[in-house]
Structure 1
């Protein structure tokens, strides 16, 4: 059963700080890509900019993302 063990949500709150303002980022996915978004300063970042800072929430979220969106 595909999808029963994977996170299929469109976004997840992380503890990863925004490089601009320091607020916690959300990881989000669209139909075609995954990105980091700061709700405080309204900036959007490429996921590659934050891979080195990945936390548990980000890792769980990425487990449910198709490879062609990364």
Structure 2
């Protein structure tokens, strides 16, 4: 969905991009890589508005490198 803007389940092109957000006390759509919210990696959601299918993506390549270093 991220790359094609088409839902892989129902072929709809009504895709909503919901950006990741880090809130207080570690809330939001994130992966924590440290002890503070400043170390949070934001996860972007892509949602099909017709069937409800969703995917989550890490959009920033640098964030992927941080995740590899943290969890490998």
What's the TM-score bracket when you normalise by the shorter of the two chains? 0.3 to 0.5
TM (norm. structure 2) is: 0.40
Structure whose alpha-carbon radius of gyration is higher? 2
